[in-house]
Structures are given as C-alpha cells and as structure tokens.
C-alpha cells in the first residue's frame, strides 16, 4: 500500500505523466506554520538543475488543497499536489512489449497487467519522490532536528572534484552513474524507536527503500562493523548524555536512539534508462532485441537524492516523536 | 510496537530471563499442518552448539498454546511459547549504573526508566530471535518458497576454513567477531511487493533490522552497484519468465519481485558483551570506569543468525502472498 | 486518523469551505472500469434537492487526479476531489466564542485550538460525506453485491406520506427533524468478517459512526432482540446455503456473514443547526446567551444519508473481500 | 484479525476448550503497578456465579507471562493467559453436521472448513471475553476514568425486581433471555477522538461489536434522537467546561468527547444455546432436524457482560489517551 506511518501518516499518489503527483499527510498537529514558500528550499535541492540531471524542467510549485488555514495547519489532513506540466508521453509505448532492463516494466506488467501506467514510469517514477520531499518538509517541522544529507560518492569516487568529469564521460557514452548518500541527523533525544519491530534502523530503512534505485543501507560502522572485533566496534559511553567516543553504532543501540547523531549511508544504483544500446526480451516476438532509451533522464539521479533521504529520515522521526 | 505485518501478523513477547519468550501469529490460514516437530530443524540451526556460541543451553521446545487442533491450524491465532529454563539473573544488576557499550542499557533506561528488565537483555535480548524463528517456520509454510541463508564472512574473512581459528583467537582475547549472512529466496512469483512503501526490499529490511546487531543490508549488487555504470548494473531480461543475465538487482525491480532469486546480504556486528575490559560511564559516580562482561555470551553470534534472516524473509513473503 | 481500512483504504481530506473535499483510495485493483459518469447516480442521491435539504447547491462533479488511465484503474492510488464552489464563509466567525449546541465547535476548539477551520463545519462538516459516497462508488465495484438503503422513519414517523408535512412544519418553526435509515446488502457470500475484532458488525458500525449525526446502529432484530427469548430470536437454518427462517441475526453470526441479507438500521439525529433560538455559553463573556443559526442547512439531513450508509457498507465489504 | 488498537494494542488468542484463553497487550507504558490481584475484582464480576449463568466454574486466575517485573510493567508487551480447566468437549461434535441456530457454526465451517475448533465455541466462544476483561483491567490504569456499566433491562424488563423470576421461568422452559447494558464513563477530558474515522462512537462500537451476542449500540438519546426535533435534542452548553443541560449527545459531538459523561447502551441477544428443541438443517442428510443443546450455558449471558462492556470502553480510551 502507498501509505506509511501510524502517527504521521504519509500517503503518496499520482503518476509521472498524470495530471499531478501528490501527497496526503495525516496526523499533522494543529498550529504549525505552513506556506508554499516553506517547500521551496527542499524542492530546489531535489530539482538540482546541474549537469547529470534530467532536461525535464518542472516548476514543482506545491498546491496545498486542505488542512491549512491562514498559514497554519488546522489539525485536519494536509493534501498537497504538484502539477505535471512537462510530460511528453509518446516515448513509452514500446516498453510494454520490450521491458527496459533495470526497470519495473516487466514486474509491473505481471502485477497490474496492461492497466499499468507506463508513461514516464507512472507511479514507479522517481518523480514520486516529490511527494516524499514535500512530506519531509512538514516532517522536519514536527521532528525539529538537524538533517544533513550529502553525496559522498559518485561512480565509486569519493573525491568530489572528479565527479563532474565522470558524469560528462558517462553522458558522452550514453551511460549513467550511481552514488552514495550519507545522512546525519542531529539533536535526536535518547530513547526514540522500539526494540521490536520498529527500531530506528528498521523504520528509516523501510522508508529509504521506497526511494527508487536504492540498493543498500548501513548505519554507523555499517558493513565494516562485521569485520571489526567487539573491542573495536564497541563504543564507550563518555558522559551523562550518552555521548560515545566514536559513534560506531550510528546513534542507535537496541533499536533506540542513544543520544548521538544518527548516521547512515545509502547506496544508489546508476540510472537504469540509458541511451547506450542494451539487450532485452521482446515479449511479442519472443526474441532478444536491442533497446535504446530515448526519453529525458538523469545521467546520475543520485545527485538529486540527498534531500529525499533527509525526507525519509524526517518522516521516520515524526512518527517516533508524535 | 512489537507487531509486524498486516496479513500474516507476528507479535513477539517475553524477556530473556522471564518465564517465557513467545510469539503470537495471526492471519494463519486454516488447515496448515503444524506440530512441535516442525520447529525442530530451524530451532536447532539457531542453537548452533558450536564453538563461538553461548554456553547457555536451553531446550527451546515450543509449546503451542492455541490455534492448532489435531495437528492442523484452525484459522484462529497461533500462540507459541518457549520456557526460559537456564536463566542466571545475578549477573546484570550493575548494568543499571554502568551501561554496557554497544548495548541498549542506557537508551532503554531513558525510555522505560528503572522499570526496564535488564536481566539477560530482557526484551532486547538476542533470545527474542527464538520468536522470529518460530514465526518463520509457519511463514515458510505460507510462502512456500526455498530459503537458503548462510554465513559468507566471519571477522571479515570469506574463507570459511579460517573461521574456527579466528573465533578461537578472539575468545582467547576475551573479544568477539561479527559476520555477514547472505540469503537467497528462490521460487518467488513475479509481482510481489508494492511500489510505495511496501517494496520487497523495504519490508525485508524492516524485519531484518529487528534482529539485534544488524548494521547494514544490501540487495543484489548492493553497495557495489553505486560504483557501476548503468550499462554494467542493468540486467538484460532473457526470457518470458523474466530471468535476467546476472541478477544484479537481487530479484527486485521497482519494489516488485521480478522472477529471479531474491538475494540480499546482512552485516552483523561483533557481540557487544565481551570479557575484555572496556570503558563506560558510571551514572552514579559520574566517572568513566572499566567494565568486564561476565555472563554467558556468543563470541560470534552471527553464527546463529542465518536461520533468523531466513525467518525474516519468510515473514515478509507470507505478508506479500496472503 | 482520517483513514479507514487495511485492504481497501479510504482517506478523506478537505473542508466544507476549503478549495476541495477529497478522498484517496488505495488497494483498488487494476482494471476496474472507472469514469466520472460512474459517480453521478450516487452523488445525485446524496444531493437530494428536495424540500428539507440545504439551499447550498454544489455541482459535485468529481475530478479523478490519479490511478485511472483511459477509463480503467491502474492499480495505483485513486485520488478524487470535489471543488467547493458555493461556500459562503461569513456566517461562521462568531461560533468560536459561542459554540453551537450539538456541534463539534467546542470540543474541536479544545483539540485543535484556534487553528480549527470552523467555516461551514470545516473538516467536521456533513459535506465530508461526499468523500464517503465517492469511495462507496468504487467499493461497490470491488464488493459487487446489491446495496439498498432507504429512509424508514422521519421524525419518528414510519408512514412516508406524512414526511413532507412534518418537514414543512419543522421548517416553519425554524426547527429540524431526524430519521432512521435501513440498509440491506444482498448477495454476500458466507464467511466474510472475523470473529475478533473485525466482525461484520464491528467494521460496518465503525464506518457508520463516522457519518456526522449518527446516534445508534442495530443489526437484524436489533434492540428488540434483547427482549426476545432464545427460542424466538434464534433462527433455524433452512437449507444448504445457510438461509434462515427470518434473518433475525441480520445476516451475521459470530461476526461472520451467514449467507442471508445483511440488514441494519441507523438512527440519525435532527440537524443541529436550527434557526430557532437556543441557549449556549459565551466563552468570552462567561454568560449564557441566545443563539440563532443562520447559514444554509438541511431541515432533515437524514434525507440525504441512505446513499452514505450504503457507501459505508460497501467500504466495509470491499475490505472483507479483497 | 484478532488485534485492536494502534497505541494500546490488544490481541486475543485461545479457544474455549484449548489449554488457555489469552491476551497480548502492547503499548503498555513502563511503570504501571500490575499484579495478579488487580484482575480479581473485574474477573469476579464476569464470572457472576448467580442464577442464570453457566454451571461451568473456572478459577480464571491470570498468569502474567511477560512485561511485568517486580510488580511493575516494564514497557515490553504484557502476555496474560487463563487456563481452561473445566472444559468438557464431548458435547460439540454433532454441531459440524447440524449447526446450532444463532451460532457461528455454519459460517465458521465455510470460512475455516473442517479445521475450525467447534469445542465450546472455540475461538468464537463467550469465554474469549475473559481476554477483553483482562485487557480492560490494564486499560483502566492507562485511561484512568470512572467506568460504570450495569444491566438496565433483562428480557425487556427494566424493573430489576422482576429479573430473577423471569430467568427462572426461562430456565424452566429450557429457554434464554437477553438484556441491555448501559455504560457511563466519567472524567473524560474534552477533545478525545477523531472526526474521521476514529470518532469516540466508532471506536467504542467497533470494540463492543466484538463481544459475542451484541445486536445494537446507541449513544446518549440514541434511537430516540431520530424522533426528536433539533430544539429538543440539541443540548445547550452551560459552562466553560462544556457541561450541557441534559447530555443527549452521550458526551460526544463531532466524534470528540465534549466534557460530559460518555453514555451508551448495548443490546444483547438471548443466549443461542438452549435446551428447548429447535429446528436446524442437517448438512449430511439434507433434511431439517430438531436440535437440543445440552452443554453448559448461561440462561442470560447478559448478566455477565457489564464488565466486558466497561473493558471495551477502557480499551477505546486507552487508545485515545496514549
């Protein structure tokens, strides 16, 4: 189902090439200041009109349909929509016969049959992350912590001076790159989360794996922790607030926030839609064919994801804190 | 909350040193064959009475309290308990003042105050995974796929011939090791999962992060995917069943199962409780002190986790398929 | 929270005098035929432009924002909005100081403080039943049974020839009337519902008590059953389909549908907003004052509720049958 | 599913003639005093060893399996079981072929087939209300209001001096009686509940219809409200606490508690199992036969239900207040 959360409840709707992408937020406390301007900064970070991002240019101005009166939330559900103004749908019809590698085309055709909206990825599109970012803006007002996510790797390179060249090279080849985002949440009080099943890690990872293209997530020392000894990974508590020496646990013990920054990293795959020729199976002819994705795509959509990752963290914490 | 799932609902209860650890299963279809013997094989894998596992030896024989009549499930909820017969609780009192590094002691004391049951880790104990394994046994009957999880790394080593020596060495130093588990689920039909928010990856990761000591999870090419090009990571569909050339997506596209094996890896930290001296903060004296964990602990609890990881996958798929 | 259902999930949003009233439907199967015309018949029954209903005249044409492509549902969430074109908001400001008897004004002011949207009843308005009726239209396609609800009493009279005169008389006095609706659902298969807690009666009553102004609900023999003997109320099964002699159970035994028509009655109070002078407490002056509700109101809103009651039944059964 | 609540979560399990009836409570705050003795008073009211109640005599001593340490809740889930010591299961086998009128036998046989546990009503038994009462004891500690439910009618008579004779007469005829319970909850703060869908009435009625044998529920003026005029049913607010002149709304406006006592009435049918001969359909022979229920049954189970109704109210309010 397209809903997450039991206290701050986020429901997404819309498709990439339908009239709108939208989000419905329930559990928003009355009296939060909320205007269209509040969304601009995070939405702009998602648009990221730089090299390596899609040439599709949408205004992405939110329309607040309900739940806000004279600049303040009323306590009723907040519905927000974004118009899809720049959709060009002629490119997608052939994917019904020849599903794109790395896309949901084939699996969705088995789940929803011919009724699935393939246009621009439909409900599976990365454009749905608009809804997450909008939810995140409200969530950050509820769980009023510091959120800082940033790209730490592009195409396997951690040196950011090399990224521009790598992206240019990939674009030239009609290819794409992935990346890794690190997110740090500061100011989280001790004891949020549940031992079973709603640990801080469980809820954040549940949300993060809703972002299209995520392949992995790790907290604190992450996968490296598995090759450390207990005496190396364990983290001495240093003071009465629970601060530890090195935060190898990424701010979570036993599923609960422990008073340190929450730190996690998310691996994004390279964009699936590439101009470079790829093989795929043609379900009509029964033969393997060569496919080229024209459309308008990000060469490295990971560039646009840090603010989406922040939104997921904020949605998680809004649920924990309410 | 201590419940997961909306169709196959798993609720865990109990504490490491209380009378029982238990699990309540709802949504179990009527007419499944279910006896105490069905649990033995998976429970034995969890006990893993080999070097590197705890000297605490429990019988772990399930008692089926309800929902089963004459060897078949009735459609009513199935409650299962396991007696805690070998609990020695004298070891834990001091952890209230001096929380163990890497444990939930401190965070739990802020969430539940002095009422938290610290004995043996209480409700935070790895012993709670008994409940998950029992749920997994029933889940595997509902989502009747093939589940195969195994350790692929111990202490950073992928060569299994080196593990015994590494564990011995760690034990000698009063230290502990972590590990990585890989899980493969075969026979999953195409189209399970939801695009938002209940993708296959989201639901599995939510459950997996409920296992104490998990630090990361990745699907298919995982973190490596972030350093691959689209043309490398993309996976050509090869036939009408959706089989792909290399399964780099780990069996999931757009959140939906794509007809290939579901493949994921889970990073486990080294056991937190170690005999080696560690620093911690004494909340009574306000000073940093040296702590030694006596108790009975696994030197490498990851040895016992593959069947727990399988259980999480099975619980996820039982929810998808019902 | 403003969401109901775990398989067919209905979320309402909007306010009486905001831009829209809307509903978000999740769990709608792909491939249902759905067009704006499908809503007309039920929406018209709700408008009921007859004596005794509000002079506010809205077009109530649904806009389908998402989840439908070329006349068929796609499997993605279906968002539907209705524009509020005829809102006159100048009438409501004074109710913040002097809450109307029988209304949510006072209780809402304590829950949402001054941020509550009082205009036209805001999110508490009977206009929100538009969202329920729209959800019901889709639910009836999923749970494709026969639904027939009708008024059986107005102002305590079961003889429908007297209703028009009674309503005229009440209007002349600036007063209002209540009514009773009976709903019959036919063609329900045996065994829907759950013994605990989601019995057929529990789920229907949960939904029905979401309609503003409901005071009671009863199934089959209802309150009369409490004065019958077992030998009178018990209902002999007559054939292999489970048909009973008199359906005193209203089609439900042990919480499960039993193969007979589901029959229940719902009591609606008289409209709270009346022109006749009433006392209320003025929270500013601290004195009891006389209040007259001008606005535009139904003299007997029960006239418009049968289709809303049907919608509730259909939403319940859509959840049971999916 | 057999679970209710999202903050104070109640899950029931067990069957009338299985080893136990039990309840699992989640969301119980840490630090509540809770001992076996706390349950005695409410459990005794449910046993009600007076004329008209079943000759089955169970001890009904709760066993607290988890979540309580040294007399206080720990914050972990609380599991409670009651042993079934006096089950006599030989009486029920024939009901598989000849379902009892008024019972779930037939509907359950279509839902769970031959796997349903018919013994003593199995999971559909009134004995499951033990679980509700136990949950209510804890709920009353969380939502610490005054709860007072009592029988106001037996067999249609409101004069309690006539009840004993009426029950004796019904028993002599091998017949049974129903009754009406009124419940008053005092001390409820203003503003609990939600406008949609979790109104105070919706949540209470959802729970109340989980009690076997309920046929109707009404709040405040109830069904009578439908025959009143607005000027009669409306209820002037009298003071700054929101107290009204006559509480015709039963303490709820717009789904929210309004500062007055919550008042509702519940109609219970007469016991279905009667010694008097009744017709039923024999699914083996295909003929209508005469059935006599031997077993041990309440002549008027409504006598035992006031404390169960209180428990439902308390569970509702525990969810609202947490």
Structure confidence by residue, pLDDT tens digits, B77-113: 999 999 998 877 766 778 888 898 999 999 998 999 8
CA dihedral D94, D96, D102, D104 (to 10 degrees): 140
Q: For residue A144, what are its two tokens?
A: 């009023």
Closest CB to B6: pick one of C6, C76, C195: C6
Cβ proximity of A283 and B240 under 8 Å: yes
Q: What count of Cα atoms within 13 Å lies in the side-chain half-sphere of residue B60?
A: 24
Contact D1 B111 (CB under 8 A): no
Q: Which residues of B touch C195 (CB under 8 A)?
A: 76
Chain D interface, Cβ < 8 Å to B: 1-3, 6, 9, 11-15, 18-20, 22, 24, 26-27, 30-31, 65-67, 69, 72-79, 81, 111-113, 115-117, 119, 122-123
Query: From residue D17, how far is each of A93, D57, D123, D305 by CA, in Å?
Result: 60, 13, 9, 20
Q: How far is CA D210 from CA A256, B44, D217, D301, in A?
A: 35, 40, 12, 15
Q: How many CB pairs under 8 A join B and C?
A: 3
Separation CA C268–CA C293 (nearest Å):
20
pLDDT in tens, A133-156: 999 999 999 999 999 999 999 999
Instruction: Please tell me the distance from the alpha carbon of residue A252 to that of residue A197, in angstroms, as a whole number.
Output: 14
Instruction: Evaluate whether A42 touches A288 at the Cβ level (below 8 Å).
Output: no
Q: Where are the alpha helices (DSSP H) in B188-305?
A: 200-208, 230-233
D37: CB partners within 8 A, 6+ apart? none
Residue of C42, C90, C45, C273 whose CA lies nearest to C171: C273
**Model pTM?**
0.96
- The DSSP line for D149-203 is EEEEEETTB--GGGHHHHHHHHHHTT--B-EEEEEEEE-PPTT-S-SSS--HHHH
Q: Which residues of B touch D75 (CB under 8 A)?
A: 111-112, 115-116, 123
If residue C42 lies in a helix (H) or strand (E), which one and from where to where? helix C40-47
**pLDDT range class, residue D1, cuts 50, 70, 90:** confident
- Can you tell me whether residue A80 is helix, strand or coil? strand
Say how far residue A261 (Cα) sits from the centre of its chain: 20
Please report the pLDDT score of residue B120 as a whole number: 82
Mean of the pLDDT values across residues B197-215?
97
**Run means of pLDDT, 10 residues per run, chain C, 322 residues:** 95 93 97 97 87 82 96 97 85 82 91 87 91 98 98 97 96 96 98 94 98 97 98 94 96 97 98 92 93 83 97 98 95
Set of chain D residues whose Cβ sits within 8 Å of the Cβ of B113: 30-31
Interface test with B, best of D64, D80, D117 (most B CBs within 10 A): D117
Nearest to A267 among B218, B278, B279 (CB): B218
E-only strand ranges, chain A = 3-4, 9-14, 20-26, 63-64, 68-69, 72-73, 78-83, 146-154, 179-186, 214-219, 252-253, 256-257, 262-268, 278-282, 287-291
CA distance A55 to chain B (A): 18
Tokens of C243: 């048909």
Maximum average pLDDT range among A90-99, B52-61, B154-163: B154-163
* Chain C residues within an 8 Å CB radius of A79: 13-14, 20, 22, 24
Closest CA to B8 of B38, B42, B35, B32: B32
Q: What is the pLDDT of residues A17-36, one digit of tens each?
A: 889 999 999 999 999 999 99
- In the numeric block, the tokens 């309010």 are attached to D317
Q: How is chain B split among helix, strand and coil, in percent rounded to 5?
A: 30, 25, 45
Measured between CA atoms, the residue of chain A closest to residue C73 is: A115
Residue-level pLDDT at B90: 67
C195 vs D contacts (CB less than 8 Å): 2, 104, 108, 123-124, 128
pLDDT class for D91, splitting at 50, 70, 90? low
Point out the least confidently predicted range of B260-274, D120-134, D140-154, D200-214: D120-134
What is d(CA A27, CA B210) in angstroms, rounded to the nearest whole number? 25
Taking residue D158's Cβ as centre, other Cβ atoms within 10 Å add up to 11
Q: At what angle do helices C306-321 and C200-208 cross, to 10 degrees?
A: 140
Where residue D322 falls among pLDDT bands split at 50, 70, 90?
A: very high
Looking at the partner chain, which of A12, A14, A77 has a beta carbon nearest the beta carbon of C2? A77
Q: Compare CB distances from D221 to C201, C215, C254 and report the shortest one's residue.
A: C215
| B contact chains, 3+ CB pairs < 8 A | A, C, D
* Pairing verdict, β C9-14 and C3-4: antiparallel
Record: contact D195-A6, CB cut-off 8 A: no
Residues pairing with C12 in the sheet: C23
Closest residue, chain B, to A248 (C-alpha): B102
Cβ contact, residue pair D253, C107, below 8 Å: yes
Residue-wise pLDDT tens digits, C89-116? 766 778 888 899 999 999 999 999 889 8
Q: Which residues of B touch C (CB under 8 A)?
A: 6, 76, 195
pLDDT at C90: 67
User: Which among C69, B221, B7 is positioned nearest to A214, based on CA atoms?
Assistant: B221
pLDDT for A90 equals 67
- What stretches of chain B show up as alpha helix (H) in DSSP? 40-47, 105-111, 129-142, 163-172, 200-208, 230-233, 306-321
Query: Which residues, at least 6 apart from A11, have a Cβ–Cβ distance to it below 8 Å?
Result: A2, A3, A4, A23, A24, A25, A26, C3, C11, C24, C26, C77
The pLDDT tens digits of the residues spanning A122-136 come to 888 899 999 999 999
Q: Is D72 close to B115, i.e. CB distance below 8 A?
A: yes
Closest CA to D55 of D278, D308, D265, D296: D296
Is the separation of the CB atoms in A122 and A84 below 8 Å?
no
pLDDT at D58: 84
For residue B214 the two structure tokens come to: 């998990």
Which two three-digit tokens encode residue B7? 């169709």
Structure token pair of residue A248: 């190898």
N residues, chain D? 322
Contacting residues of A for B221, CB less than 8 Å apart: 215, 269
Q: What percent of chain D has pLDDT over 70?
A: 99
pLDDT at B57: 81
Nearest to D110 by CA among C241, B34, C145, C247: C241
CA distance A233 to A227: 9
Please compute the mean of the pLDDT values over residues A243-258 and round it to a whole number. Answer: 96
CB pairs under 8 A between A and B: 356
Residue in chain A closest to B181 (alpha carbons) equals A226
pLDDT band at B214 (very low <50, low <70, confident <90, very high): very high
Instruction: With beta carbons less than 8 A apart as the criterion, state whether C26 and A1 touch.
Output: yes
**H or E, element range at D45:** helix D40-47
Tens-place pLDDT, residues A57-67? 888 999 999 99
Neighbours of A148 (CB within 10 A): 13
Asked whether the beta carbons of residue C195 and residue B6 sit closer than 8 angstroms, the reply is no
DSSP letter at A243?
-
* β-bridge mates for residue C182, sequence order: C150, C265
Contact B24, A196 (CB under 8 A): no
Q: What is the pLDDT of residues D138-190, one digit of tens each?
A: 999 999 999 999 999 999 999 999 999 999 999 999 999 999 999 999 999 99
The token pair at B282 is 């004494």
pLDDT at B93: 73
3-state secondary structure (DSSP) of residue B306: helix
- State the DSSP string of B43-91: HHHHH--STTS-S-------EE-SSEETTEE-SS-EEEEEE--S--GGG
Which residues have a Cβ under 8 Å from the Cβ of B285 and sit 6 or more positions away? none
Cα B125 from chain centroid?
11
Can you spell out the DSSP letters for D127-142? Answer: GGHHHHHHHHHHHHHH
**Residues in A touching C116 (Cβ below 8 Å):** 30, 74-75
pLDDT tens sequence across C272-290: 999 999 999 999 999 999 9
Strand pairing class (B72-73; B252-253)? unpaired
Contacts of B195 in chain C (CB under 8 A): 76
Closest by Cβ to D112, choosing from B27, B30, B117: B30
Q: What ipTM does the predicted assembly reach?
A: 0.97
Please judge whether A231 and B278 are an interchain contact, meaning their C-beta atoms are less than 8 angstroms apart. Answer: yes
C203: which chain D residues are within 8 Å (Cβ-Cβ)? 206
When the pLDDT of each residue in chain C is averaged and rounded to a whole number, the result is 94
Q: Do D124 and C254 touch (CB under 8 A)?
A: yes
Cβ of B76 within 8 Å of Cβ of C195? The answer is: yes
Rounded Cα–Cα distance for residues C216 and C209 (Å): 8
Q: How many CB pairs under 8 A join B and D?
A: 151
Is residue C232 exposed (0-12), middle (13-18) or buried (19+ Cβ within 10 Å)?
middle
Tell me which chain B residues have a C-beta less than 8 angstroms from the C-beta of D79. 13-14, 20, 22, 24
Q: How far is D115 from chain B (nearest CA, A)?
A: 5
Of the partner residues A6, A76, A195, the one whose CB lies closest to the CB of residue D6: A6
Q: What is the model's pLDDT at position A298? A: 87
Of C30, C79, C81, the CB nearest to A115: C30
**Which pLDDT value is given to residue D214?**
98
CB C59 within 8 A of CB C87: no
**CA nearest to C77 within chain B:** B196
CA of D71 vs chain B CAs: smallest distance (Å): 10
CA gap D211, C201 in Å, rounded: 11
Q: How far C24 CA lies from chain B's nearest CA (Å)?
A: 15
**pLDDT digits 0-9 by tens, A254-263:** 999 999 999 9
> Is there a contact between D4 and D318 (Cβ–Cβ < 8 Å)?
no
**Predicted local distance difference test score (pLDDT) of residue B138:** 98
Judged against a pLDDT cut of 70, whether residue A91 lies above it is answered with: no
Asked whether the beta carbons of residue A197 and residue B218 sit closer than 8 angstroms, the reply is no
- CA atoms of D322 and C105, how far apart (whole Å): 24
């Amino acid at each position: 189902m397209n809903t997450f959360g039991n206290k701050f409840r986020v429901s997404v709707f819309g498709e990439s090439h339908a009239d709108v992408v939208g989000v419905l937020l329930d559990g928003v406390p009355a009296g939060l200041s909320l205007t269209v301007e509040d969304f601009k900064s995070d939405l702009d970070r998602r648009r990221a009109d730089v090299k390596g991002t899609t040439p599709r240019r949408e205004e992405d101005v939110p329309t607040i349909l309900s739940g806000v009166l004279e600049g303040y939330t009323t306590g009723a559900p907040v519905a927000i929509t974004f118009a899809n103004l720049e959709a060009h749908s002629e490119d997608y019809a052939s994917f019904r016969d020849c599903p794109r590698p790395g896309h949901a085309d084939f699996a969705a055709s088995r789940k929803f049959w011919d009724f699935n909206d393939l246009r621009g990825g439909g409900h599976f599109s990365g454009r749905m992350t608009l809804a997450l970012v909008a939810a995140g803006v409200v969530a950050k007002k509820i769980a009023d912590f510091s959120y800082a996510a940033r790209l730490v790797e592009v195409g396997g390179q951690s040196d950011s001076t090399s990224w521009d060249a790598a992206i240019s090279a990939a674009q030239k080849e009609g290819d794409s790159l992935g990346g890794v985002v690190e997110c740090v949440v500061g100011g989280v009080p001790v004891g949020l989360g549940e031992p079973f099943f709603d640990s801080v890690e469980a809820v954040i990872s549940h949300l993060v794996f809703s972002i299209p293209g995520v392949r992995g997530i790790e907290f604190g020392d992450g996968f490296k922790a598995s090759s450390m000894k207990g005496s190396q990974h364990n983290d001495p508590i240093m003071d009465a607030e629970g601060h530890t020496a090195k935060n190898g646990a990424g701010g979570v013990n036993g599923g609960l926030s422990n008073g340190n920054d929450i730190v996690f990293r998310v691996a994004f795959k390279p964009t699936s839609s590439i101009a470079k020729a790829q093989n795929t199976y043609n379900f009509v002819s029964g033969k393997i064919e060569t496919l080229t994705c024209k459309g308008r795509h990000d060469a490295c959509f990971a560039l646009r994801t840090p603010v989406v990752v922040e939104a997921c963290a904020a949605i998680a914490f809004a649920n924990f804190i309410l």
